[in-house]
Chains A and B, each alone.
Chain A
Amino acid sequence: MPRRAGTGAGPPRAGSGAGPGIERVFREEYGRAVAVLARVFGDIDVAEDAVQEAFTAAVQRWPHAGVPPSPAGWIITTARNRAIDRLRKEASREDRHAQAALLHAADAPAEEGPVRDDRLRLIFTCCHPALAVATQVALTLRLLGGLTTTEIARAFLVPEPTMAQRLVRAKGKIRDAGIPYRVPHEADLPERLKAVLAVVYLIFNEGYTASSGDQLIRPELCQEAIRLGRLLAGLMPDEPEVTGLLALMLLIDSRRDARTAPGGGLVPLAEQDRGLWDRDRIAEGQSLVRACLRRNQPGPYQIQAAINAVHSDAPTAAATGWPQILRLYDQLMAHTPSPVVALHRAVAVAEVQGPAEALRLTGELDLGSYYLFHAIRADLLRRLGRPGEADQAYRAAIAATQNAAECDFLERRRRSLGAAES
């Protein structure tokens, strides 16, 4: 049976005079509209096509008729009506798929419905454990973020046909395998929520330290992750880890402008111009951290946010409250013991107890393929006056990263060792 493969097109290219209004509405309302329509028709492809069609209609209509009072409501109603018209035609040609979608729509409540729950359902569907993590990320960006296939492909440096294929396959699996469109039951919620938060944080991290390519930071991915984080925090105000993740992303992102030198090179935290930090982001992040702490249900995202809040508090690198950071890392290790957490804890140990103890701790970690492991050891060895070993560690770190700005930074560090020696 031939299937429409969700077009994955972006905001309809407005001709003359459609203005930026439609593109803004597209970015803000695409996810909401797809979520509602997916519930109504029980099918993501039908929902995407319908929403796309409604935006195309908006491009034709809004420039002269004006933007309606409730743009989202207009899009959803138009999408629903046009989809029903088209499905009726297809259903009369014995298209079982169209018949099923129509039946589904007949059972669904006619009003816009609880939009809140629709987007939550869609997030949990996109992040279902039966889908590979890379697929969860792509689907979330596509369906909730309204990013085009081209944009997602570019962000992850994947050829566009590959990304298009991945999305088509994922939507096919959701439909054919019967991945349910609902918020998980209470018993499964903690595990499933963890997967959702992991996807959002993965999007943020890919934006913050692009795992490959020439650019250190892809701000559009960070923005998108924060937008998703805000959405989740609004939908699940009683989950402190959701708030914790939002706070964590805001606090890390506050340092974005200070993190790259004018030439695009990486500037480490200790050397950043703190005047470039985004005070609004810091204020928002810190107030969210305080709100979390009051609930007293700590989790890994909240603790990491608290660590970043301590950094944000310090007017200079030297004034950083390292003992407090170390205590928070101890807490994080108790919650989620992992070699990567232990590595970051070692950095705090170096400040509180000295680099020798920190180096001893990193020696126990099996992280040989992780560039940061070598980079941190290189720095500790340098501080301990062991330039030969530091040089080797920098070389290992350079070999383990594909990000050009990171490579460049590590190479400069390595060379400055040589300068000190000679």
Chain B
Amino acid sequence: MKQYLLSMYQPQGDPPPPEILQPIMQKLGVIRQELQDVGAWVFGDGLCSPDTATVLRSQGGEVLVIDGPFTEGKEYLGGFMIIKVPDLDAALDWGRRYAETTGLPMEVRPFQSEAPD
């Protein structure tokens, strides 16, 4: 089985109001349950906002601690899932469902190593 990272990119700004977010979260829960049922779920979660991030940068023999995200952008990594499936077509099928549900762009990227079966 191959492992894929499904990354969800979110625009900067406030999250949508609960009446919109709630049904989306519920649908995401359904997809996750299906992934778990077929044994394809490895790990996944949403991330806290990028202003909670800290960057460590090795420089001249010491490691600097910097408050804030690695890159400032209009979009940021909002959450990710790791799945194990036979091939890219299967990964894209799951990714497509996430994209349809959230309306957000999803990046599908393979891991270097195969998943232990």
B2, chain A: closest CB distance, angstroms: 5
Q: Flag whether B99 is at the interface (Cβ < 8 A).
A: no
Known: A176-B110, A177-B110, A178-B2. A130 touches B87 (CB 8 A): no
Complex CA distance for A113 and B6, rounded to whole angstroms? 36
The answer to whether B89 and A180 touch across the interface, beta carbons within 8 angstroms, is yes
Q: Flag whether B92 is at the interface (Cβ < 8 A).
A: yes
Q: Flag whether B91 is at the interface (Cβ < 8 A).
A: yes
Secondary structure call for the A interface: loop
* Chain B residues numbered 78-114 whose CB sits less than 8 Å from any CB in chain A: 86-89, 91-92, 109-110, 112
Complex CA distance for A177 and B108, rounded to whole angstroms? 9
Which residues on B sit within 8 Å (CB–CB) of A184? 89
Which residues on A sit within 8 Å (CB–CB) of B92? 130
Which residues on A sit within 8 Å (CB–CB) of B86? 178, 180
Give the one of B2, B88, B92 with max A CB within 10 A. Answer: B88
Q: Flag whether A350 is at the interface (Cβ < 8 A).
A: no
How many residues of chain B get a CB closer than 8 Å to chain A's CBs?
10
Among the listed B88, B109, B112, which residue makes an inter-chain contact with A180, where contact means beta carbons less than 8 Å apart?
B88
Complex CA distance for A179 and B85, rounded to whole angstroms? 12
Give the one of A128, A176, A177, A179 with max B CB within 10 A. Answer: A177
Q: How many interface contacts (CB-CB < 8 Å) are there between A and B?
A: 23
**For this complex, into which size category does the number of interface residues on chain A fall?**
under 10
Which residues on B sit within 8 Å (CB–CB) of A176? 110, 112
B100, chain A: closest CB distance, angstroms: 16
Interface string of A170-193 (1 = CB under 8 A from B): 000000111110001000100000
Task: Give the nearest-CB partner of A128 in chain B.
Answer: B88
B67, chain A: closest CB distance, angstroms: 35
Complex CA distance for A177 and B88, rounded to whole angstroms? 6
Complex CA distance for A179 and B92, rounded to whole angstroms? 10
Which residues on A sit within 8 Å (CB–CB) of B110? 176-178
A378, chain B: closest CB distance, angstroms: 42
Which residues on B sit within 8 Å (CB–CB) of A128? 88
* Chain B residues numbered 2-52 whose CB sits less than 8 Å from any CB in chain A: 2
A73, chain B: closest CB distance, angstroms: 30
Task: Give the nearest-CB partner of A179 in chain B.
Answer: B88
Complex CA distance for A76 and B83, rounded to whole angstroms? 37
Complex CA distance for A184 and B109, rounded to whole angstroms? 21
Which residues on B sit within 8 Å (CB–CB) of A177? 88, 109-110
Complex CA distance for A176 and B5, rounded to whole angstroms? 13
Complex CA distance for A188 and B2, rounded to whole angstroms? 21
Which residues on A sit within 8 Å (CB–CB) of B2? 178
Complex CA distance for A188 and B92, rounded to whole angstroms? 13
B112, chain A: closest CB distance, angstroms: 8
* Chain A residues numbered 158-214 whose CB sits less than 8 Å from any CB in chain B: 176-180, 184, 188
Which residues on B sit within 8 Å (CB–CB) of A180? 86-89
Complex CA distance for A128 and B89, rounded to whole angstroms? 9
Complex CA distance for A149 and B2, rounded to whole angstroms? 31
Complex CA distance for A230 and B81, rounded to whole angstroms? 44
Complex CA distance for A180 and B112, rounded to whole angstroms? 16
Which residues on A sit within 8 Å (CB–CB) of B87? 178-180
* Chain A residues numbered 346-384 whose CB sits less than 8 Å from any CB in chain B: none
Which residues on B sit within 8 Å (CB–CB) of A179? 87-89
Complex CA distance for A274 and B9, rounded to whole angstroms? 58
Task: Give the nearest-CB partner of B93 in chain A.
Answer: A188
Task: Give the nearest-CB partner of A181 in chain B.
Answer: B87
* Chain A residues numbered 11-57 whose CB sits less than 8 Å from any CB in chain B: none
Complex CA distance for A180 and B88, rounded to whole angstroms? 7
B85, chain A: closest CB distance, angstroms: 9
B97, chain A: closest CB distance, angstroms: 15
A121, chain B: closest CB distance, angstroms: 13
Complex CA distance for A130 and B106, rounded to whole angstroms? 13
Complex CA distance for A128 and B88, rounded to whole angstroms? 10
- Top 5 nearest A-B pairs (CB, nearest first) are A180-B87, A178-B87, A178-B2, A178-B88, A177-B110
Binding site for A on B (CB under 8 A): 2, 86-89, 91-92, 109-110, 112
23 residue pairs A–B, Cβ–Cβ below 8 Å: A128-B88, A130-B88, A130-B92, A176-B110, A176-B112, A177-B88, A177-B109, A177-B110, A178-B2, A178-B86, A178-B87, A178-B88, A178-B91, A178-B110, A179-B87, A179-B88, A179-B89, A180-B86, A180-B87, A180-B88, A180-B89, A184-B89, A188-B89
Q: A130-B92, A178-B86, A184-B89 are in contact. List 17 more A-B contacts (CB 8 A).
A: A128-B88, A130-B88, A176-B110, A177-B109, A177-B110, A178-B87, A178-B88, A178-B91, A178-B110, A179-B87, A179-B88, A179-B89, A180-B86, A180-B87, A180-B88, A180-B89, A188-B89
